[in-house]
Copies of this chain bind each other. A is one copy, B any other.
Amino acid sequence: MTTIYRDTVKAEWVDYNGHLRDAFYMLIYSLATDAFMDGIGLDETGRRMRHRTLYTLEAHVSYLREIKQGAAVSVDARVIARDGKRIHLYLEMFEGDEEKPVSACEQMLMHIDSSDAPKSATFDEDVAARIDAFAVIAVHEARYARRVIGLPVRAGGASFQA
């Protein structure tokens, strides 16, 4: 299994629609990414000793199904790709034992030297090795990755395209 994080939908994460607010899916993913960092040597001690951390450059969340207060959720994480300084991470969120995800998220993460003004940095060798040993998913198998947001352009009718 590639489950790296589990949580329960808290009352304060639910909005006027009676379901988990969009931003708090992202919070669960953010906490899952913290768990991913723990697994590759960038846990709290690793960050402090190495003066290294990860920053999020971009995140794209697909909301597939609403979930309610008290729902038990788990997050699976797999690496789509990395280069010397960046990781393209793919995450899916599940409710209980269901097979279909309630949401998916892809993130581009940048490795940062935090010893002075933050700047991008090459992964330490042992961190790179741990990333390469992490579960992977081919980009064409990551169903909700590399998506573009947009409406089809239509001529006339009630719709418009600015």
Contacts and interface: CB of A to CB of B under 8 A. Distances in A.
Interface of A: 15-17, 21-24, 26-27, 29-30, 44, 47, 53, 55-63, 66, 78-84, 86, 88, 106-108, 112, 114, 118, 128, 132, 136-139, 145-151, 153-154, 158-162
Given A80-B162, A149-B145, A63 B53 contact: no
Interface residue SS majority, chain A: mixed
Nearest to A136: B162
B138 A162 contact: yes
Given A57-B63, A149-B146, A162 B81 contact: yes
A59 B22 contact: yes
B53 A160 contact: no
